[in-house]
A and B are shown apart, each in its own frame.
Chain A
Amino acid sequence: MAKISTIRWLAFGAALALAAPSVHAQQAPIKIGELNSYARQAAFTVPYRNGWQLALDEINAKGGVLGRKIEIVSREDGATTGDATRVADELVSREGVSLLFGSFLSNVGVAMADFANQKKIVYIAAEPLTDAITMAQGNRYTFRIRPNNTMQVGMLVDQAKASGAKRWAIVAPNYEYGQSAAQAFKRLIKERVPGAEIVAEQYPALGKIEAGATVSALEQAKPDGIFNVLFGPDLTQFVREGNTRGLFEGATVLSLLTGEPEWLLPLKDEVPEGWTVTGYPWDQITEPKHKAFVDAYRAKYNDTPRLGSLLGYMVVYMIRDTLERAGSTDTEAVIKALEDAKFDTVIGPVTMRGIDNQSTMGAWVGKLALKGATGGMTDWTYKDGTSFMPTEAEVKAVRKD
């Protein structure tokens, strides 16, 4: 550890040394590339854009970083792997951006990780959750902020132990994120809950669920526990159909991300009460720094923050800190500044673990409850990511670098 922190201090010193003479000179801004599915996944990505815009404005109002302003060149990634790498290529070779961040869907994230490795440019996967990005497909150019599937599923499975549910059913969208989450769940439930078995699995195509048929197929297996990975329009249909047919009555339900406002708000008053979820109870977090962020966000956009807003805000500040410590926009310097770096964020300290480039950002775990006309979370706690991360041995076993 000592060695790393020396390097960091040296980098920091170098940053100051380089930055100092240029404070007064008006230099060209530092260009950073951003791409996301603003058309297809607007519920998450539009608040996310608001979040990073807010952070960007704050940083630039204070003079930017390294004496230069930051400019974010943002593009639509088309929500497909091909479009995303194409747009990324354009950002790198035409716009000349120093690093890339963004993307929402996990499959796009995996393609972007591969792209980053091929083109030797830093890519910060803000949202994509699949384990692959920091595990099997991970590489030294790709970093991830959000807690990955193994971490979030681990938090949920811990909650499931007490329930005594043994017969589990899985419902997940049939693409990278859903498959990865289902895999993590199967592994962890068998490790931590003795005697647990999977009695039914349904994998509807993303955005194309046949909710009635899916619910009755799950019902048929008579599970006493359900693990849900659906989100967006699929989730809404699934919940409505499940509520009507009584699928969730008497069953323990674990659900990824459902407590995040972007997926909770469209459910309106049909929020399935009692589900154990990961989410973001933004209105109940009382830390002053977080409150300041919420206030600034509400003042600027006249809207309440979603998890995406928080994430976008955090990522840009982390990029600022990284550039400051790296002292330049050189890729190798940036990687050095990111690995094992500690960041002081609005939700507390976060470390970017060096062996797999996965940050220790945690998640809020709690139960869903109806509050007035919409849903919210109760009995929640913030779980720091550190204790849920894959072990070093697990990482080394699958990573190729």
Chain B
Amino acid sequence: MDPSFLAVQALSGLSSASSLFITACGLTIVFGVTRIVNFAHGSLYMIGAYTAATLVPRLLELSFGPVSFWAGILASAVIVGLIGIIIEVLLLRRIYGAPELFQLLATFGVVLVVQDLVVLVFGPEDILGPRAPGLRAPVDILGRRFPSYELVLIAAGPVVLGLVWLLLRRTRFGMLVRAATQDRDMVASLGVNQAMLFTGTLFLGAFLAGLGGALQIPRVSANTGMDLSIIAEAFVVTVVGGMGSVPGAFLAALVIGQLQAFGILIFPKSTLVVVFLLMAVVLAVRPYGFFGRAEVVGATHTVGIASHKPLPGRVYILLAVVAVLACFPLVADAYLLKVATEILIFALFAFSLQLLIGVGGLVSFGHAAFFGLGAYGSALAVKWSGASMEAALPLGLAFAALGAGLIGAFVVRLSGIYLAMMTLAAAQIIYAVAFQWVDVTGGDNGIVGVWPATWASGPVAYYLLTAALTLAAVLLLKRIIDAPFGYALRAARDSEARAEAIGLTIRLHRWLAFILSGAAAGLAGGLYAFSRGSVDPSLLGISTSVDALTMLLLGGIQTVTGPLVGAAALHFLRDVVMPLTAHWRLVLGLIIIAMVLIFPRGLAGTVQHWREERA
């Protein structure tokens, strides 16, 4: 390869790195101070791009020149900063004390709301912004043409780094931000106005996200997919750099930019994998990223199932449930049966997550990985070896358990937010493999023709099969939760140090919990694949993981029945509301936010709480 090509490719990498850093820098500052992993950061980035792509052309019409262009970019970033303040005051301020899981979900609710709002405000079409005046012509670099705007972007990264450094080192606000990053409680005890500090930080973070988005308009058209594609990369940058560390984010962005620029040459079809692979490798070697510090996480962050007396007459309740499930086909039509089948599958999926989160205190943000592995395992068995459904389902389960064992081995060394991010990375790697290894997985097409065996192909038969398997799996998991193994997991969840002191092997227990949970999710995935006849990468995507979390949260994380109720509620809601409105994501997002704010105990949890209060 000739040197001019390498140089141009490296420059392309640098300019991507710069853009990525500006956005990720805001994310890491916000995390450092508020300890909130802001999923909505990508949405702010997207709003920045849309605002600039709409605003800048208007300004250029008034007076054409570099001044109006750059003023428009800055104005867009300020507007996004103000939106950040609104989000802080209305939502984040109320959940600083909540467990991480709730915070992640609440900000994901914002993501959903913004996705629909952006289409409502800016229209469905992508908006291509204007080019920067004076930077239209390319520059000549070793005989190759290179866009001059990219050179400006390359410079913008270090400039922002410098300005942020000055802000953090030379101003009182910066000093407070640094202090809060180190010890939030101490800053509060010293009488610092926390509300102002947090609002200011959110403004800064949102401003940087908006700036990152606005700077993209000459090279990327503003489109509705921007939020999730940037947030995944921004997460990687902040985690690899060490959460809360600005120089770490800069270094990580540089590495990732180059990796992408040259990765495209070596693996033109696996561009999505390399980024997450880097994150997995870095976290495996340095559990807190390049410059991160170990988190001081108290027991306040764990919520979950507590001990309870066994219900009197639980055998009769169980028999009643079995009877209702078995008699349901007598009254339901084909479509209702289909819905019921899916509810049962998702109930099992959410319940398997309960074992990790509610019992083990391990906030997995990539549970879709196991669901998808189960689905893909079954589908691949059907496709490549012509396996029957009876053979493919256990194969899918085993495949998911194997995957969970592998991922679990890496993940159990971590804790808190790094653990959540590592599971997310693992799910994204598997997603990328399924998405880009077209020869085996069919890529975006997925695998079609995964239909059940003849005896189970009718809606009634398949419903009964699903009901039987789900019930068996749930009862087995319930038994495990109530067994000493479950108590050991809970001990480790509530106090790692004490659990270790009494001789529990925490990592081994957690690893086993991952395998069990993965296997159950894999069974659910396999059942799901056969119920729809196809699999596709979206089963492994972030939104599937979020679905599981939402069900868990909607039902209530402190109860055993919570995920089952939550799955039924969410699926029913989706089935009723989705055909009625074009703004399903808006509705779902608002439901998630409302849940976090008003019903942090969830449906089943609230009912239980009432009962306990009355008693």
**How far apart are the CA atoms of A244 and B137 in the complex, in Å?**
7
Is chain A's interface secondary structure helix, strand, loop, or mixed overall? helix
Q: CB within 8 A of B436: which of A174, A217, A236? A: A174
Does A370 interact with chain B (Cβ within 8 Å)? no
Does B458 interact with chain A (Cβ within 8 Å)? no
Given A94-B335, A114-B448, A232-B126, answer yes or no on A85-B219 (Cβ-Cβ < 8 Å). Answer: no
**How far apart are the CA atoms of A174 and B221 in the complex, in Å?**
20
B229 A208 Cβ-Cβ under 8 A: yes
**How far apart are the CA atoms of A212 and B449 in the complex, in Å?**
38
**How far apart are the CA atoms of A219 and B532 in the complex, in Å?**
43
| CB under 8 Å from chain B, chain A span 71-122 | 75-76, 80-83, 85-86, 89-90, 93-94, 105-107, 110-111, 114-115, 118
Does B8 interact with chain A (Cβ within 8 Å)? yes
**How far apart are the CA atoms of A233 and B220 in the complex, in Å?**
8
Q: CB within 8 A of A76: which of B144, B146, B582? A: B582
Q: Residues of B contacting A240 with CB < 8 Å? A: 128, 131, 218-219
Q: Which of A175, A201, A214 has the most CB of B within 10 A?
A: A175
Closest residue of chain B to A215 (Cβ to Cβ) is B12
**How far apart are the CA atoms of A266 and B223 in the complex, in Å?**
11
Given A40-B224, A89-B338, A266-B125, answer yes or no on A179-B438 (Cβ-Cβ < 8 Å). Answer: yes
| CB under 8 Å from chain A, chain B span 122-176 | 124-128, 131, 138, 144-147, 150
Q: CB within 8 A of A217: which of B265, B435, B584? A: B265
**How far apart are the CA atoms of A268 and B127 in the complex, in Å?**
10
Q: How many whole Å from B589's CB to the nearest CB in chain A?
A: 14
B16 A43 Cβ-Cβ under 8 A: no
A81 B448 Cβ-Cβ under 8 A: yes
Q: How many whole Å from A34's CB to the nearest CB in chain B?
A: 13
Q: CB within 8 A of B443: which of A80, A174, A208? A: A174
**How far apart are the CA atoms of A266 and B579 in the complex, in Å?**
30
B436 A237 Cβ-Cβ under 8 A: no
Given A174-B443, A207-B223, answer yes or no on A82-B128 (Cβ-Cβ < 8 Å). Answer: no
Does A205 interact with chain B (Cβ within 8 Å)? yes
Does B413 interact with chain A (Cβ within 8 Å)? no
User: How many residues of chain B get a CB closer than 8 Å to chain A's CBs?
Assistant: 62
Q: Residues of B contacting A175 with CB < 8 Å? A: 443-445
Closest residue of chain B to A107 (Cβ to Cβ) is B445
A245 B138 Cβ-Cβ under 8 A: yes
Closest residue of chain B to A206 (Cβ to Cβ) is B444
**How far apart are the CA atoms of A205 and B541 in the complex, in Å?**
15
A233 B225 Cβ-Cβ under 8 A: yes
Q: Residues of A contacting B145 with CB < 8 Å? A: 244-246
B445 A81 Cβ-Cβ under 8 A: yes
B138 A114 Cβ-Cβ under 8 A: no
Q: Residues of B contacting A107 with CB < 8 Å? A: 443-446, 536
A39 B119 Cβ-Cβ under 8 A: yes
| CB under 8 Å from chain A, chain B span 485-537 | 532-536
Q: Residues of A contacting B138 with CB < 8 Å? A: 244-246
Q: CB within 8 A of A90: which of B335, B436, B443? A: B335
B582 A38 Cβ-Cβ under 8 A: yes
A241 B219 Cβ-Cβ under 8 A: yes
Q: How many whole Å from A108's CB to the nearest CB in chain B?
A: 9
Q: Residues of A contacting B582 with CB < 8 Å? A: 38-39, 76
**How far apart are the CA atoms of A86 and B13 in the complex, in Å?**
41
Does B272 interact with chain A (Cβ within 8 Å)? yes
**How far apart are the CA atoms of A202 and B146 in the complex, in Å?**
20
Q: Residues of B contacting A206 with CB < 8 Å? A: 444
Given A174-B436, A212-B16, A236-B221, answer yes or no on A111-B261 (Cβ-Cβ < 8 Å). Answer: no
Q: How many whole Å from A62's CB to the nearest CB in chain B?
A: 29
Q: How many whole Å from A247's CB to the nearest CB in chain B?
A: 9
Q: Residues of B contacting A80 with CB < 8 Å? A: 536, 538
B219 A111 Cβ-Cβ under 8 A: no
A176 B444 Cβ-Cβ under 8 A: yes
B128 A268 Cβ-Cβ under 8 A: yes
Q: Residues of A contacting B5 with CB < 8 Å? A: 216, 220
Q: CB within 8 A of A212: which of B12, B125, B438? A: B12
Q: How many whole Å from A265's CB to the nearest CB in chain B?
A: 8
**How far apart are the CA atoms of A294 and B493 in the complex, in Å?**
66
A185-209 interface mask toward B, CB cutoff 8 Å, 1 = contact, 0 = none?
Answer: 0000000000000000111111110
Closest residue of chain A to B260 (Cβ to Cβ) is A210
Does B66 interact with chain A (Cβ within 8 Å)? no
Does B539 interact with chain A (Cβ within 8 Å)? yes
Closest residue of chain A to B115 (Cβ to Cβ) is A39
| CB under 8 Å from chain A, chain B span 246-282 | 260-261, 264-265, 268-269, 271-272
Q: Residues of B contacting A4 with CB < 8 Å? A: none
Given A241-B147, A266-B126, answer yes or no on A203-B268 (Cβ-Cβ < 8 Å). Answer: yes
Given A94-B335, A216-B5, answer yes or no on A205-B535 (Cβ-Cβ < 8 Å). Answer: no
A82 B534 Cβ-Cβ under 8 A: yes
B125 A213 Cβ-Cβ under 8 A: no
Q: Which of B145, B443, B534 has the most CB of A within 10 A?
A: B534
Q: How many whole Å from B439's CB to the nearest CB in chain A?
A: 10
Q: Residues of B contacting A244 with CB < 8 Å? A: 138, 145, 147
Q: How many whole Å from B241's CB to the nearest CB in chain A?
A: 21
Does B334 interact with chain A (Cβ within 8 Å)? yes
A210 B16 Cβ-Cβ under 8 A: yes
A85 B334 Cβ-Cβ under 8 A: no
Does A369 interact with chain B (Cβ within 8 Å)? no
| CB under 8 Å from chain B, chain A span 330-350 | none
A212 B119 Cβ-Cβ under 8 A: no
Q: Residues of B contacting A42 with CB < 8 Å? A: 119, 124-125
**How far apart are the CA atoms of A46 and B125 in the complex, in Å?**
10
Does A318 interact with chain B (Cβ within 8 Å)? no
Q: How many whole Å from B37's CB to the nearest CB in chain A?
A: 22
Q: How many whole Å from B336's CB to the nearest CB in chain A?
A: 9
Q: How many whole Å from B528's CB to the nearest CB in chain A?
A: 8
| CB under 8 Å from chain B, chain A span 17-71 | 38-40, 42-43, 46
**How far apart are the CA atoms of A89 and B531 in the complex, in Å?**
11
Does A267 interact with chain B (Cβ within 8 Å)? yes
**How far apart are the CA atoms of A205 and B1 in the complex, in Å?**
25
B12 A118 Cβ-Cβ under 8 A: no
Does A211 interact with chain B (Cβ within 8 Å)? yes
A217 B147 Cβ-Cβ under 8 A: no
Q: Residues of B contacting A82 with CB < 8 Å? A: 446, 532, 534-536, 538-539
Q: Residues of A contacting B150 with CB < 8 Å? A: 212
Q: Residues of A contacting B536 with CB < 8 Å? A: 80-82, 107, 111
Q: Residues of B contacting A201 with CB < 8 Å? A: 268
Closest residue of chain B to A175 (Cβ to Cβ) is B444
**How far apart are the CA atoms of A38 and B579 in the complex, in Å?**
13
A233 B221 Cβ-Cβ under 8 A: yes
Does B15 interact with chain A (Cβ within 8 Å)? yes
Q: How many whole Å from A261's CB to the nearest CB in chain B?
A: 11
Closest residue of chain A to B538 (Cβ to Cβ) is A80
Closest residue of chain A to B581 (Cβ to Cβ) is A76
B271 A205 Cβ-Cβ under 8 A: yes
Given A115-B533, A205-B436, answer yes or no on A214-B264 (Cβ-Cβ < 8 Å). Answer: yes
**How far apart are the CA atoms of A147 and B218 in the complex, in Å?**
34
A136-180 interface mask toward B, CB cutoff 8 Å, 1 = contact, 0 = none?
Answer: 010000000000000000000000000000000000001110010
B424-440 interface mask toward A, CB cutoff 8 Å, 1 = contact, 0 = none?
Answer: 00000000000110100
Does B561 interact with chain A (Cβ within 8 Å)? no
Q: Residues of A contacting B578 with CB < 8 Å? A: 76
Q: Residues of A contacting B599 with CB < 8 Å? A: none
Q: How many whole Å from A69's CB to the nearest CB in chain B?
A: 21
16 contacts between A and B (CB under 8 A): A39-B124, A39-B582, A81-B534, A90-B335, A114-B448, A114-B449, A114-B533, A202-B268, A207-B229, A210-B261, A212-B12, A232-B223, A237-B220, A241-B219, A245-B147, A246-B145
Chain B residues proximal to chain A, CB less than 8 Å: 1, 5, 8-9, 12-13, 15-16, 119, 124-128, 131, 138, 144-147, 150, 218-221, 223-225, 229, 260-261, 264-265, 268-269, 271-272, 333-335, 338, 435-436, 438, 443-446, 448-449, 451, 532-536, 538-539, 578-579, 582, 584
Closest 4 CB pairs of A and B: A42-B124, A175-B444, A107-B445, A212-B12
